[in-house]
Structure formats: structure tokens, C-alpha cells
Amino acid sequence: MSLDKNTTDQLIDKYQKLGQNVNTHLDGLLHSKPIDYWDYIQTDALLNLQVQRTTLPDEMVFLMYHQVNELLFKMVLWEMDQVAKKEDMTAAFFETKIMRISRYFDVLTSSFTVMKDGMDVEQYNKFRNTLTPASGFQSAQYRKIEFASTELINLIDKRFRETIDRNTPFEHAFEHLYWQAAGKDYKTGKKSYTLTVFEEKYKDEFIRFAEFYNTHNLWTIFKKLPQEVREDEDLIKAMRHYDYTVNITWVMAHYNTANHYLNIGGKTAEATGGSEWVKYMHPKYQKRIFFPDLWSTQELEDWGTNI
Ligand code: HEM
């Protein structure tokens, strides 16, 4: 087999542009190690990340499923980042990305039974005591997915959404995000430990991220697409599907799981993150909707009630 002239020319050209000698790089190839599956996927590193806090076997199910979720969250954010940074946005590009993001959330939602039906209730209620005061509430990637999906106003606690000044500084808006309700006593303003440490670690990063995405989120970018694209039925269907999957189907799967483990014999146990979860987690209470104009007034009113 001989070297293809076109490839050789391209290689020479590539390294010339970098001010490098192509022969040195070709000599390097003589000694380079062939890649293996385990080196590429980094299976050794990946499979060393499952460290239990107890000896209960089902804790492993809980721990690994969370890790799988975080990987999928990363896949979602990977696509969102490309949408946000695309300079000459086209309908086809946007549609492809929405479909990918939507598919990842379908996986997250349909697999949630791994949590609800996949652990022994007794074991769960033992190992969870070792996890207090940590909570999935502290998943930074989940929060980023929300910031990257919609405008900040749609993530404001619905009790303040009508009255908050839309031009309020991010710092102020942040204090009124819907999820503050899980960790803040609104009468005294006191924040729980779970929320306090979460903010200590991520607040600055969240504010930077939210500032950028407030104008680069999926909803704002969709609204800038040409009218005929915005009226495309398939695209609208995909957008509504994503909104419904994240904000109703996933939330309900999660809520039903919490009920399964934490609501035994009519007695509600306190969640590890300490929220008033029965009220807080329900979609009809949160009314979190990423793409509000794609729903009728009735649908908005009924959000989370007919399920
Ligand atoms: C047995 C399984 C699970 C139970 C019982 C459960 C329970 C809860 C509860 C009660 C909350 C409210 C906050 C608190 O007080 O802690 C919460 C929040 C949260 N959990 Fe889970 N969870 C489970 C699995 C998961 C999984 C697999 C994920 C995926 C990463 C996850 C992600 C989240 C997120 C993102 C929040 C915040 C949601 C929001 O603010 O609306 N949870 N969870």
C-alpha cells in the first residue's frame, strides 16, 4: 500500500500552517502505541468511581444510576452548548439538536423505574440515612440544563413571577428561583445547610452561566428562527415533547419514586435534602414550563393537574 498523494499534501499543508516539520510527526507515528478500547473509554477510571458508604447492596443501584444520570445530563449540555454557540443557526441544525436532547430525556424518564422498582425499600431507608444532608437537588448539571432551556423568568418561583422586575440583577433573580423554595424558609429567609453549601460551591458559576444562557437558551433561540420554521408542526411537537418530558413526566416519575420510598403507611419521611417534598416536587406546585407560548391558556392552567 502506498501513501495517497492527496492525504500527504494535506498533511504537509496542515503542519506547515502550524510551523511544524511534518517528517517529525510521521516519525512519531512509528513509535505510537495502538489505541485499545479500555484506554479510549477509560474503563479503569470509570469503573473505579463507585464507592459505597454502606455495606447494603442496593446502595450500589442508587449510586450508579445517579452517575448514569449525570453522564446523560452531560450529553444534554453538550448539545445545548452547540446550539448556544452556533453563529449561523439553521432550522435543520436546531431541529436535529432538539431531537437529540429530547431523546436523552426520554431515556432518563423511561429508565427512572430503575429507581422506583429497582431497590429494596428497607435497604433504601437504611442507606439513605448515611447520605443526609446530600440531595439530588444539588445536581449542578440539572440546574444548568434548566438555565440553558429557557429564559430566567420561567424559572422564577411562580409566587413572584408576575411581580418581579424582569430587568432585576441576576443576583436578585437567583434568590427567587423556584428551587430556592426547597431550601429556604421564606418567612425568616434562612437557608438550609443543603442549599447553603450548594450555593457556596456553585453560585458564582451559576450566575455566569445563567447570564450567558438568558439570551442563548433554547427558547430564545427558537423565537429568533424564521416564522415558517417556528410554525413547523413537527418542530413544535418536538419542543412540546421536551418541555412535557422534563417538567411533567420526569418530575412525576421522580415524585412517585419519592412516594414509594418515603411515604410508608401514610407516614411521610423527611427527605435527605430536608424539603417539604410532597408539595415542592409536584409539577402543579412548581409550574415550571420552558416554552410557555407553545401551550394554550388552558394547558398552562392545568399544568401538572391531569396526571
Ligand atoms: C430513590 C430515588 C430518589 C428519591 C427518593 C429522590 C427524592 C428526592 C427528593 C425528596 C427531592 C426534594 C429535595 C430534598 O428535600 O431532598 C429530590 C430532588 C431532586 N432529585 Fe431526587 N430522588 C431520587 C432519585 C434521583 C435521581 C436518580 C436523580 C438524578 C440525578 C435525582 C435528582 C434530583 C434533582 C435534580 C432534584 C431537584 C429537583 C427540583 O428542584 O425540582 N433524584 N429528590
**CA 30 / ligand 1 centre spacing (Å):** 51
Confidence of residue 187 (pLDDT cuts 50, 70, 90): confident
pLDDT of 234 reads 93
Instruction: Evaluate if residue 133 carries a pLDDT over 80.
Output: yes
Q: Rounded to two decimals, what is the model's pTM?
A: 0.95
CA–CA gap between residue 177 and residue 213 (Å, rounded): 15
pLDDT of 267 reads 85
pLDDT tens digits for range 16-42? 999 999 999 999 999 999 999 999 999
Q: Which fold does the domain 58-301 belong to in CATH? A: Methane Monooxygenase Hydroxylase; Chain G, domain 1 (1.20.58)
Residue with the nearest Cα to atom 20 of ligand 1? 136
**CA 291 / ligand 1 centre spacing (Å):** 23
The DSSP call for residue 248 is: I
Q: Which are the contacts of 116, defined by CB distance < 8 A and separation ≥ 6?
A: 253, 256, 257, 260
| Cβ 285 under 6 angstroms from ligand 1 | no
Instruction: Evaluate if residue 165 carries a pLDDT over 90.
Output: no
Percent of residues, the chain, with pLDDT higher than 90: 88
pLDDT of 307 reads 77
pLDDT of 238 reads 94
Residue with the nearest Cα to atom 21 of ligand 1? 136
> Domain coordinates of the chain in residue numbers?
58-301
Helix residue spans in 18-135 (DSSP H): 22-31, 37-41, 43-46, 58-85, 91-110, 113-116, 121-127
Confidence of residue 186 (pLDDT cuts 50, 70, 90): confident
10 Å CB burial of residue 87 (0-12, 13-18, 19+) is exposed
pLDDT of 124 reads 98
pLDDT of 273 reads 85
| Residue to substitute in 71, 254, 262, 268 for testing ligand 1 pocket (most ligand atoms within 8 angstroms of CB) | 254
Task: Give yes or no for a contact between 97 and 75, defined as CB atoms under 8 angstroms apart.
Answer: no
**What average pLDDT does the segment 251-277 reach?**
91
| Cβ 149 under 6 angstroms from ligand 1 | no
- Residue 248's CB is within 10 A of a number of other CB atoms, namely 19
The DSSP call for residue 247 is: I
pLDDT tens digits for range 209-250? 999 999 999 999 999 999 999 999 999 999 999 999 999 999
pLDDT tens digits for range 65-106? 999 999 999 999 999 999 999 999 999 999 999 999 999 999
